[in-house]
Homo-oligomer: A and B are copies of this chain.
Amino acid sequence: RSGEMAKLTQLIDNEVFRAYATYATIVLLKMMLMSLVTAYFRITRKAFANPEDTASFGKGESAKKYLRADADVERVRRGHLNDLENIVPFLGIGLLYALSGPELYTALLHFRIFTGARIAHTFAYLIPLPQPSRGLSWAVGYAVTISMAYKVLKTALYL
Could you list which residues of chain A lie within 8 angstroms of chain B, going by C-beta atoms?
1, 4-5, 7-19, 21-22, 24-25, 28-29, 31-32, 34-35, 49-50, 52-53, 55-56, 75, 78, 80-81, 84-89, 91-93, 95-96, 99-101, 128-131, 134, 138, 142, 145-146, 149, 152-153, 155-159
Contact = CB atoms under 8 A, between A and B. Distances in A.
Nearest to A32: B89
Number of copies: 3
Given A8-B11, A22-B153, 5 more contacts: A12-B100, A21-B158, A22-B156, A50-B134, A95-B95
A157 B9 contact: no
Given A18-B156, A149-B29, A157-B18, A142 B35 contact: yes
A108 to B, nearest CB: 8
A158 to B, nearest CB: 4
A49 B35 contact: no
Contacts of A159: 19, 22
B5 A14 contact: yes
19 contacts: A4-B14, A8-B11, A8-B101, A11-B99, A18-B156, A21-B99, A21-B158, A22-B157, A22-B159, A24-B96, A25-B93, A28-B88, A32-B142, A34-B85, A50-B75, A50-B78, A50-B128, A56-B131, A84-B84
